[in-house]
Amino acid sequence: MSLLNRIARKSYRTFIGGLYFQGTRQCPMCNWTGFQFEPANQGEFFRFDATCPRCKSQERHRLAYLLLAKRLPARLGKVLHFAPEPCMSKWLSSRTDDYHTADLFLPTVMHKEDICNMTFADDTFDLVWCSHILEHVADDLKAMREIRRVLKPNGLAVIQVPVWGAKTTDEPLSTPEERISKYFQEDHVRRYGADIEHRLRAADLTVETLRTGDLDLQIVLRHGLSDPCGKDIFLATKTTKGSA
Ligand SMILES: [Zn+2]
């Protein structure tokens, strides 16, 4: 398709969308409204109606925002955001004066950190944000224990991973094709099920699970929360004896 043709088609869709469907989708993070979100293409798993054209939020970001914006304290204290996504970064950093980003590979973060062996002292952070990291980590229990270690007593970790079904599968797969087929992406080392809760508890964290189903259907549709693997948020608290 020629460039001119593509531009004409996009303009037409925007015009029609604007004319008849303005406001059928809304991004709660940047207030964009329109006909539908843009598609997202991760590995083999193409998703329609997924990415905000303005702030690039995806379903999981908007879900976290909708479920947690009012639930989290107005001021978040000392925050560690792993593999920071720009839309989440903007939101989280607006709610604290003590915001830190970390990643092992991203060059733009404040701290180069291995989530399984962090350099931070014990009891450092009020909030650790860890979205779509653990499915890449070979020893996820070690990462969970590290998250607990760097949390202050009663500190909270927000954990998101792709979840499919009830049971986690983490047999080693040797080829990228197998990992794409069974774990959604070639750099995923497992496919989590809802039993990730047990793993978090094994790391001595107290777990509460929030789900897309906690929201009204109209909210789910309006904010484009249809990712079949992105319907859960795990709130993991470092409860200490006597504080649970
Ligand atoms: Zn947006």
CA angle 136–138–143, rounded 5-degree value: 85
Supply 29's token pair.
């993070």
Q: How far is the CA of 219 from the centre of ligand 1 (A)?
A: 15
Quickly state the pLDDT bin for 171 (edges 50, 70, 90). Answer: confident
Q: How far is the CA of 5 from the centre of ligand 1 (A)?
A: 27
What is the C-alpha separation between 233 and 15, in angstroms, rounded?
A: 36
For the stretch 3-53, pLDDT in tens is 667 766 666 555 555 555 556 999 999 999 999 999 997 656 788 899 999
State which amino acid sits at residue 170: D
Q: How far is the CA of 33 from the centre of ligand 1 (A)?
A: 9
Q: How far is the CA of 39 from the centre of ligand 1 (A)?
A: 14
Neighbours of ion ligand 1 (CB under 5 A): 27, 29-30, 32, 52, 54-55, 57
The percent of residues in the chain predicted with pLDDT above 70, rounded, is 89
Domains and CATH numbers, the chain: 57-237 (3.40.50.150)
In this prediction, residue 15 carries a pLDDT of 56
What is the C-alpha separation between 164 and 95, in angstroms, rounded?
A: 32
Range 126-151 burial, b when 16+ CB lie within 10 A, else e: bbbbbbbbbbbbeebeebbebbbbbb
Q: How far is the CA of 113 from the centre of ligand 1 (A)?
A: 28
Supply 185's token pair.
């992406």
Phi first, then psi: what are they for 223, rounded to 5°? Answer: -100, 10
